[in-house]
Structure 1
């Protein structure tokens, strides 16, 4: 991690005002979803909208490779525990996210699977610390069905081909990203899940041995946990997973507060709820269809700022064209690789 003189902080994006003790907005960290890349214009629009409202704020988009192709590949392939360690190091080495530039921590936005992984960061690492975590369409209780890929999307087809072939093998559970948060509620599948899951069963503390650090870290979020569900989501199956709900094949829903996960407070959700820091929110539209109005509400209502930091009134419509690519990111080959209209679910949960 870079430590040292004011000139080094300025070079790396810090400000002399921050070092002198002037009040600054909290930084914002963003983690994208499956099939997306750190250079997606939509993600930059998310960051730019934040800095337009809070001038001088630092932003950081998490990346798992130095190039877009490698970053997209890492959203499909890799060990999530290894990737989590990589992100812990990446954020810890950014002086804009640590004291003295960020004494209150940073705010975090997670899109789709990126929200699940950002929660994993909070539980397992959280140095530097997250103040408030907001997730959009994130499968916190896993996915119970895989999705079909476009015929031309070889990364997607390769990943889900491995999933369908042997989702519980050690290799798949340590190399194929979506497999590591697959969770089907049927008794037979749950037994295999608890035994073999490479990521989700761990960070949800579902095994007999509980990790108290996970509960302490997540339950200790000062600004809380905000969970957005898309009403017409057809990518996350079941869509109620974004609120930690359990949905069986006949469509019966067990909401979080009725689950043992909550009642015994395995990961601190009950603690957050008791403090009024757990929010279940919904927005219209399909998976990852996000507007400037929604983000402005998030930024000004849920992302706390120190006294003296004022939100600017802005016209955010100019950001909407970029935000569209969150649901339909474009890549160099011109193909749409991921979005609500490019992957068809095998099973749809009815309301």
Structure 2
């Protein structure tokens, strides 16, 4: 009897180790690039170590690392998403589907890919600190000088919805001012669209519901994303910036198809102690790697 059990376990183990794990696509956040060895480069290595060396595509926007870094601040998300959709469609290794991990703003950008470009099919979307309802505040600004960060902050507070700001500054496209909701809805050039806040685009909802799983990770001690609840697709109640409106009471819950995802058991919310994108290697192994297998 014991020999039979050992044989079954051995067969299972060999099947697991030799199994082909879906390719993984990653999109970095603001102030990062596709391939820094201390950031996404190390994540790519970690994934490959724990998934039988599966194919990992860490997205590089533009033709070089400099442009990729600048894209996080100065290339409109619509252009970036269009570029990424083209890159994914041309990658034959992704033809049968892939799992996706978005870091910070890369989370909402990859969601836009899922909604706008269902081929090749995204299967699992993991958003690490993504700001799905936008931000209203920029207390810290990674990888930029303090003076530059302060300049960007002032622009966002006073001119986020000016035409030139929407065109030139990525963070303006998901700046969500709850005190100026009408202006936000009429002048935002990215977030309003992908959140279906003007018209209930049925195609966006249908494509999002093709996911097998949509996982949102919130950093519980986040000092960068305001409000941090945006990482779980929640935001301030319109007209003030203190009270958080629960997701199930929001317009996007039904209009974007999140309610159906929730009813189908495809919507997951994870919380991790730590500041923005500060998580341990072991937490990633324990909580994220199983989602990729």
Task: State the secondary structure of the residue aligned to 1:261.
Answer: helix
* 1:143 matches 2:135: yes
Instruction: Tell me which residue corresponds to 1:259.
Output: 250
Task: State the secondary structure of the residue aligned to 2:82.
Answer: helix
Instruction: Tell me which residue corresponds to 2:219.
Output: 230
Deviation track 1:186-209 (CA, whole Å, cap 9, x = no partner) reads 2xx1000110001000000000x2
Question: Is the CA contact (8 Å cut-off) linking 1:32 and 1:110 kept in structure 2?
Answer: yes
Question: Is the CA contact (8 Å cut-off) linking 2:196 and 2:255 kept in structure 1?
Answer: yes
Q: Distance in 2 between matches of 1:250 and 1:75?
A: 26
Question: Post-superposition shift, 1:128?
Answer: 1.2
Instruction: Tell me which residue corresponds to 1:107.
Output: 99
Q: Distance in 1 between matches of 2:33 and 2:61?
A: 9
Q: Structure 2 length normalisation: TM-score?
A: 0.87
Q: How does 1:4-23 map to 2 (within 5 A)?
A: none
1:182 to 162, 175, 185: 175
- Cα root mean square deviation, aligned: 2.0
Deviation track 1:33-68 (CA, whole Å, cap 9, x = no partner) reads 011111212211111111111113100001112322
Q: Distance in 2 between matches of 1:89 and 1:289?
A: 31
Instruction: Tell me which residue corresponds to 1:341.
Output: none
Q: Which runs of 5+ in 1 are unaligned?
A: 1-21, 306-351
Instruction: Tell me which residue corresponds to 1:124.
Output: 116
Instruction: Tell me which residue corresponds to 2:208.
Output: 218
Question: Is the CA contact (8 Å cut-off) linking 2:124 and 2:211 kept in structure 1?
Answer: yes
* 1:38 matches 2:34: yes
Q: Hey, which bits of structure 1, 4+ residues long, moved more than 6 A?
A: none
Question: Post-superposition shift, 1:297?
Answer: 2.2
Task: State the secondary structure of the residue aligned to 1:285.
Answer: coil
Deviation track 1:193-249 (CA, whole Å, cap 9, x = no partner) reads 110001000000000x22111100111202x10000011001000000111112254
Instruction: Tell me which residue corresponds to 1:197.
Output: 188
Structure with the higher fraction of residues in helix conformation: 2
Question: Post-superposition shift, 1:275?
Answer: 0.7
Task: State the secondary structure of the residue aligned to 2:255.
Answer: coil
Q: Distance in 1 between matches of 2:223 and 2:200?
A: 33
Q: Distance in 1 between matches of 2:267 and 2:44?
A: 24
Q: Structure 1 length normalisation: TM-score?
A: 0.73
Q: Distance in 2 between matches of 1:145 and 1:259?
A: 21
